[in-house]
């Protein structure tokens, strides 16, 4: 069985978990306190980051590299389109959520409100939280614009771009930082993806000291 070293609310770990679950790959989840830089973990990934996946007798790191490997070795159901232009668009949007969204929103909200406490690194910085709360409005509006033209974020089929976005959004929804009244398009998109069997373990996550809101696991939120 595959083994994933992860942190429950990490959007990068969630992206990998969603990919594995969608392709029905059984995986053992091992929570990793990566910030403690345990020697065994550092041997698995000298970068000291999660996710780290052991699969097919190979240990691999970096969420996009992992997801590409999963897609190449387990192509059904496909999370990447065959057309090169369409694949480019998926990769562009995965990059958008992994880089831009994460830097401007997730790192400023989730990391300030949860990670700092879990890692015993002080208290949230109010100006950073305010910046994240402002930035998410722009990103939700961009998602709304995309979904006004497409069934899913990158086109007519669900792809890794949707999982990359849902991984970030679900982590923030766990701490009630998503305004579901801002965009009906985004809410309907999230309701669709949230109802997939691949999402079940994500909705079952529970971080000690940080109980999720009632709507977090509700499919009819």
Task: Quick: pLDDT tens for 148-202.
Answer: 999 999 999 999 999 999 999 999 999 999 999 999 999 999 999 999 999 999 9
DSSP label at 149? T
User: Is residue 152 included in any domain, yes or no?
Assistant: yes
* Residue 175 CB neighbours (<10 A): 17
pLDDT for the residue 158: 98
Total length of the chain = 221
User: Is residue 12 included in any domain, yes or no?
Assistant: no
Q: Count helices and strands (H / E) in the chain.
A: 10, 4
CATH, residue 111:
1.20.1050.10
Peptide bond into 51 cis (omega under 30): yes
User: Is residue 109 included in any domain, yes or no?
Assistant: yes
User: Is residue 47 included in any domain, yes or no?
Assistant: no
User: Is residue 59 included in any domain, yes or no?
Assistant: no
- Split at pLDDT 50, 70, 90, the class of 221 is confident
User: Is residue 201 included in any domain, yes or no?
Assistant: no
The number of distinct structural domains making up the chain is 1
117-138 tens-digit pLDDT? 888 888 989 999 999 999 999 9
6-33: average pLDDT: 97
91-118: average pLDDT: 96
User: Is residue 22 included in any domain, yes or no?
Assistant: no
Written as six digits, the tokens of 39 are: 């020697």
Average pLDDT over the chain reads 96
Residue 220 has pLDDT above 90, yes or no: no
Does residue 74 sit in helix, strand or coil?
A: coil
Query: What is the extent of the structural domain holding 183?
Result: 84-196
pTM: 0.96
Residue position matching structure tokens 């698995």: 44
User: Is residue 184 included in any domain, yes or no?
Assistant: yes
Q: Which residues contact 26 (CB under 8 A, 6 or more apart)?
A: 1, 2
pLDDT for the residue 23: 98
pLDDT for the residue 117: 87
């Amino acid at each position: 069985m595959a083994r994933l070293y992860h942190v429950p609310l990490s959007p990068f770990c969630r992206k990998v978990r969603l990919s594995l679950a969608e392709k029905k790959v059984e995986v053992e989840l091992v929570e990793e306190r990566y910030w403690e830089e345990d020697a065994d973990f550092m041997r698995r990934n000298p970068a000291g980051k999660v996710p780290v996946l052991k699969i097919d007798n190979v240990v691999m790191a970096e969420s996009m590299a992992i997801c590409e490997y999963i897609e190449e070795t387990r192509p059904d159901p496909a999370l990447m389109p065959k057309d090169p232009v369409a694949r480019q668009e998926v990769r562009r949007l995965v990059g958008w959520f992994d880089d831009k969204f994460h830097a401007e929103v997730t790192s400023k909200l989730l990391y300030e409100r949860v990670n700092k406490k879990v890692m015993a690194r002080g208290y949230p910085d109010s100006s950073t939280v305010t910046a994240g709360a402002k930035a998410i409005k722009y990103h939700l509006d961009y998602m709304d614009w995309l979904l006004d033209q497409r069934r899913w974020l990158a086109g007519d089929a669900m792809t890794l771009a949707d999982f990359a976005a849902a991984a970030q959004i679900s982590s923030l929804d766990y701490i009630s930082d998503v305004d579901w009244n801002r965009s009906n398009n985004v809410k309907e998109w999230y309701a669709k993806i949230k109802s997939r069997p691949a999402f079940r373990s994500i909705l079952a996550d529970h971080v000690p000291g940080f109980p999720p809101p009632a709507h977090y696991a509700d499919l009819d939120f």
